[in-house]
A and B are shown apart, each in its own frame.
Chain A
C-alpha cells in the first residue's frame, strides 16, 4: 500500500524568502504524485502533479517540485514566498487500477508567512 510522509508539521518563513516543503512516499511502482494547497475552511487546490517524464514539474502560483526516485521524495519549492501563500500544503500519492483508485495524503504542512 502507498503512504506519504511530510516530516514538517509547521514551517514559518519570511515574505520574500524561499520555501521548501518535504515529501517522502512509499509505493511499489512508479507513483503518481501531487501537491495540494488548502486555505482555512476551503477545499484542496491542485498545485502540480507528476506522472512521468521530466522530474522537475512546474505548477501554479510559482511553485515547482522535483521528483527524486532514489530518495523517494517529491519536494515542493517556491523561490519567493508571498503572504497569500500562508496555508496548509498536502502531498499525495495516487494509484490506478493496481492499487485501489485512491489518493493517500500526508499529514500536511502548515506554512506561516511573516512580514
Chain B
C-alpha cells in the first residue's frame, strides 16, 4: 500500500512569506503528526491530529498551525517565515497515535532566504 506522501519535496521561500505543506497519510490511518528537524534542535514535535481534532501541540509559536481534513489528509501552515524556520518538515501517520507507532514521509525541505 502507498506510504505517507508529502508535497512538495523542496521549497524556497522569502522571509515574511507564508507556506503550506501537505501530507497524505497511509490509507486508514487517522492520526497525523508533524515534526520539524534541524541540525541544531533535532526532531521536535509540532502537533498531532486525529479525526480532524488537534490532540496535542508542541512548543512552537502561533505562526505554526495545522489542520486535518475528513479524509485524514493534513496541512501545516507557517506564516511570516523567518530564517530559522528553514528545516526538514516530516509528517507521520498512524492508526491511533504514538502508542501504535508512526510511519514517516520523506519530508519537505523548506529553505527560507
Binding site for B on A (CB under 8 A): 32, 34, 36, 41-46, 49, 51, 90, 94-97, 100-105, 107-108
Residues of B within 8 A of A100 (CB): 48, 55-56
The answer to whether B90 and A102 have CB atoms under 8 Å apart is no
Chain B residues contacting A105 (CB-CB under 8 Å) are 42-43
Interface contacts (Cβ under 8 Å), in number, total 70
CA–CA, A102 to B47, complex, Å?
8
Q: Give complex CA distance A48, B6 in Å.
A: 23
B101 adjacent to chain A (CB < 8 Å): yes
* B66: interface (CB < 8 Å): no
Tell me the bound Cα distance from A36 to B104 in angstroms. Answer: 10
Known: A94-B100, A103-B35, A105-B42. 8 other contacts (CB 8 A): A42-B107, A96-B96, A97-B99, A100-B55, A101-B48, A101-B55, A101-B56, A101-B98
Residue of B96, B98, B106, B107 near A102 (CB, 8 A) is: B98
B105 and A103 within 8 A (CB):
no
Closest to B45 in A: A102
Contact-size category for B? 20 to 34
* Residues on A with beta carbons closer than 8 Å to the beta carbon of B102: 46, 94, 103
B50 within 8 A of partner (CB): yes
Q: Is the CB of B104 within 8 A of A94?
A: no
Known: A43-B90, A90-B43, A107-B42. A101 touches B104 (CB 8 A): no
- Residue in A closest to B98 when the chains form the complex, CB atoms: A94
A114 to B55, CA, bound (A): 44
Q: How far is the CB of B10 from chain A (nearest CB, A)?
A: 10
Cβ of A107: which chain B residues have Cβ within 8 Å of it?
42
**How far, in angstroms, from A41 to B6 measured CA to CA in the complex?**
14
The answer to whether the Cβ of B31 comes within 8 Å of any Cβ in the partner chain is yes
